[in-house]
């Protein structure tokens, strides 16, 4: 019994690690590629770099204001995440845990938002932002991201709020909590994990967004990373992949650090939730 358990457990680890290798490969490939010369990169894309040259990195810092773009992207991303979480957690709570006959209709109404192909809304959006006087500013980058992220985030919150037992809310109400206290003191702490899930999902989309930032801003002061990568495209579509990959590698480092940091936090949240639940 013990032996089979041990065997299946080591098989599990072998599988987990094998998949791990596949999953981390793109980042490894990206980083290796960022050290290669242009010819090596395109003719031997999967070999180890023949020499470790920092030339690509040097020219990224020489020719582009990557750090500024990283800063802009970070500002936009965090402002978006804060708004998204706050708005979708509150709305999701009301839609699932409060009683109102409009709830199911409203939820469907929000759901439509996840079906919109954004490319075609660009022109009406642009006209609207122009009228609001919002072009070329952080809000021009933040508002559409938040608006388009809300439907999905609300859906996720509503799905997870269902795990919060109704008796818990009732008990809190009997103890004299008002509705805001129920939300902030009882429900929110229990769904910290959901919050982080919503944040991780939106994080990727916002961090990598190109369409909105390219359309709604044209000032270098507001350029984001995805738009900044355009600087490595040359005449007639000749892309300098070495520099592009070096720039992406640099921009990925803060993400990985944030995730590893958040990861610790998620684990803390999980065990708390378990104790509580």
Residue 61 within binding range of other proteins, rule CB under 8 A: no
The least CB distance from residue 101 to other proteins, in Å, is: 10
Count, residues near other proteins per rule CB under 8 A:
148
Distance CA 45, CA 16 (A): 27
With binding defined as CB under 8 A, does residue 31 bind other proteins?
no
Interface with other proteins includes 18 (CB under 8 A)?
Answer: no
CB of 190 to other proteins, least distance (A): 9
Return all residues near 59 (Cβ < 8 A) that are at least 6 apart: 243, 246
242-261 binders of other proteins (CB under 8 A): 244-245, 248, 251-252, 255-256, 259-260
CA distances from residue 114 to 39, 76, 147, 245 in whole angstroms, order as listed: 42, 21, 10, 31
φ, ψ at 239 (rounded to 5°): -90, 135
Distance CA 107, CA 152 (A): 11
- Candidate list 6, 44, 48, 175; residue touching other proteins; CB under 8 A: 44
CA distance 154 to 111: 9
CB atoms within 10 A of CB 138: 16
* Phi, then psi, of 13 in degrees rounded to 5: -65, -35
Helices 241-276, 55-63: crossing angle, 10 deg rounding:
90
Which position among 1, 16, 51, 52 is part of the footprint of other proteins (CB under 8 A)?
16
Min. distance of Cβ 54 from other proteins in angstroms? 19
Q: Which is nearer to other proteins, 61 or 230 (CB)?
A: 230
Least gap, CB of 265 to other proteins (angstroms): 9
Is 53 a binding residue for other proteins by CB under 8 A? The answer is: no
CB nearer other proteins, residue 21 or residue 52: 21
User: Least distance from C-beta 170 to other proteins, angstroms?
Assistant: 6
Q: How many CA atoms lie within 13 A of 266 on its CB side?
A: 14
Among 49, 53, 68, 111, binds other proteins (CB under 8 A): 111
Is 97 a binding residue for other proteins by CB under 8 A? The answer is: yes
Q: Considering only residues 139-158, where is the footprint of other proteins by CB under 8 A?
A: 139-140, 142-144, 146-148, 150-152, 154-156
Is 267 near other proteins (CB under 8 A)? yes
Based on the shown chain and the rule CB under 8 A, indicate whether residue 77 belongs to the binding site for other proteins: no
Binding mask 196-225 for other proteins (x = CB under 8 A): xx--xx-xx--xx-x---xx--x------x
Buried b (16+ CB within 10 A) or exposed e, 54-93: eebbebbeeebebebbbebbbebbebbbebbbebbbbbbb
């Amino acid at each position: 019994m013990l032996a089979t358990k041990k065997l299946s457990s080591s098989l599990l680890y072998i599988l987990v690690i094998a998949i791990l290798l596949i999953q981390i490969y793109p980042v490894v490939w990206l980083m290796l590629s960022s050290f290669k010369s242009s010819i090596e990169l395109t003719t031997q894309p999967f070999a180890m770099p023949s020499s470790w040259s920092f030339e690509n990195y040097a020219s990224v810092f020489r020719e582009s204001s990557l750090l500024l773009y990283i800063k802009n992207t970070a500002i936009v991303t965090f402002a978006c995440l804060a708004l998204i979480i706050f708005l979708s957690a509150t709305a999701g709570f009301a839609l699932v845990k409060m009683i109102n006959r409009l709830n199911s209709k409203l939820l469907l109404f929000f759901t439509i938002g996840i079906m919109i192909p954004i490319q075609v809304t660009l022109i009406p959006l642009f006209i609207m932002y122009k009228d609001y006087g919002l072009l070329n500013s952080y809000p021009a980058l933040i508002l559409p991201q938040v608006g388009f992220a809300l439907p999905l985030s609300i859906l996720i919150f509503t799905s997870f709020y269902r795990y919060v037992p109704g008796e818990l809310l009732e008990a809190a109400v009997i103890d004299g909590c008002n509705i805001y206290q129920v939300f902030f003191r009882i429900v929110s702490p229990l769904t910290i994990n959901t919050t982080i899930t919503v944040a991780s999902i939106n994080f990727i989309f916002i961090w990598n967004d190109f369409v909105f930032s390219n359309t709604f801003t044209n000032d270098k002061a507001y350029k984001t990373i995805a738009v900044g990568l355009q600087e490595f495209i040359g005449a007639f579509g000749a892309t300098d992949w070495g520099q592009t990959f070096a720039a992406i590698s640099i921009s990925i480092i803060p993400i990985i650090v944030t995730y590893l940091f958040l990861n610790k936090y998620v684990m803390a949240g999980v065990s708390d939730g378990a104790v509580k639940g």
